A and B are shown apart, each in its own frame.
Chain A
Amino acid sequence: MSNQPKFKRYIWELPVRWCHWVNMACIVILSVSGFFIGNPVSFGSSASDFTMGWIRFIHFTAAYLFAVSVMSRVIWSFIGNKYSSWREFFPLMTDAGRKKTVRMLRYYLLIDKEVPETVGHNPLATAAYVVLFGIYSVMILTGFALYAQHAPQGSMHKALGFMYVLFSDQGMRLAHHISMWFIFGFVINHIYSAWLMDIKEHGGEISSMFSGYKFTVKKEE
């Protein structure tokens, strides 16, 4: 469809790409290890084995990595370029953002035919990422609150004291478990949308997450 020459433009800086792929790897590791913690399989053949111990060790290590990665991305949204800025995540706050959102929504709902080509984030995607980061917060807080119970009255247990007021202990487990399914729902949406816009925009949507570059008709000012 597009036969115009294109310029390459640097969109996703290194920390943005690293956070993206570290998050992805952590979600895969945490989901698999978390599944075995929730529904363990009797792998142990003797009481001297440590299979559940290792699964939990992997889960907790990945959890720390994930928490650091998510926090780094939040901090980067105040440091990085305009495409990574926190402003991108609240498109409904500005007039231009609202217009862009409406166009994108009309395209997604098969009403408009004109492809709304975006350079940085798709406004519908960033709105979804805000919800996703909310789910990440629930995951990180419930996860560390459950983890901290091995050392009651310790510093982590005290710092997360408000969690034990907000949730019952089992309620925390349920929230932690069901949030994993919400993330799966997001992942399906995310992979599909990236694939769809890669096809429709011809801007290198998927490869941009590896290289950082997208391809645009207009030259960068």
Chain B
Amino acid sequence: MPMNRKEIITCTINGNPVGVPPGTTILDAASTIGVFIPTMCFQAGLEPTAACRICLVKDEAANTFVPACAARAEAGMRVTTENDDIRRVRKFTLELLFSDHVGDCEAPCRLACRAGIDIPLVIRRMVESDLEQAVHALIESAGSADDPCSTCESECEKACRRGRHDAPLSIRHLMRYVWEFGVESGWADSVTPRASSERGKRFRCSMGGLKKGELEEFLKDASPAGRIEPAREPAEGYSNLEARSEASRCLQCDCRKAQTCRLRRHADGYGVRQRAYPPEERSRFRRIRHHGIVYEPEKCIKCGLCVAITEGKREALGLTYIGRGFDVEIGVPFDGTLSAAMATTAAECVGACPTGALAFGQPFETPCSWEAAGQRRL
């Protein structure tokens, strides 16, 4: 196409005339007049792939849906970025994605907790030996600085998945330990509890019943030790060492990106029903870990961002598509490890991943203090 710099393409977006240089995408053209179009597989600086279909908009002139991230604005286009029809198509794609999305947005313990504590997050912070953050997570999610466990009968422990293996985590003791630690240290005073309105009901993807082998998949990285009861007087609760050991028994079966997941955010926005297109049989949950990177393939939407990033940054190994059709997967070539695939780009890939498929786990390689106590390294 002859690129005349002075040439300006005029089209309309939601009825407003827009003039942009040739080659401008609809997404960029829309942003010049402040019109927001949702995206998932798009990242500025990378070649748009138009894979995820969430940015579909309608060109009324041609009466077709076009992906705003990749389609260029053309003269005479009459683009509508939002109406019932467009919302329906986006919702359709999202519902299809959820029909093949295996994982819980929220762990069973958190759903059971009357105080609404983000239990897995608190425990994760404990495992990371970051008690200050654990206190923050507890009080912030509980919405109050009062003793969070005073009103209930350990519903969380009844729901805990670990209970199906040996015994549930002693969540009550753990939460109490963190809370008391917060009060004694004074950290609790510096936290602003989140107002209850901010803890509104969100879309929640749920795995349903566990399939054969899935509990083992969760157990892979948890401490194999049995449930620890406080050796001191029960009223005094856990010692430091006990608390850390017990925390490391957690299966971490929640989603590490529950708050930042773009798929979930869109699910909220479009009123998605998780089981609108139920599968004959859902896939089996898997979790692959290497060093600090956690990859859960069943949460991947195959948007290709991580593939493009590793390719663009000239990773020696990188990530790639493997297989085709429904069975296509993002994987490491030649059965390499995750950290080898993303030697220099891990942070970028994890940040770009729109779902919880790629996330950072605990810093497993840092020797933890309770190793000396004869516990397996987490």
- Chains A and B bind each other: no
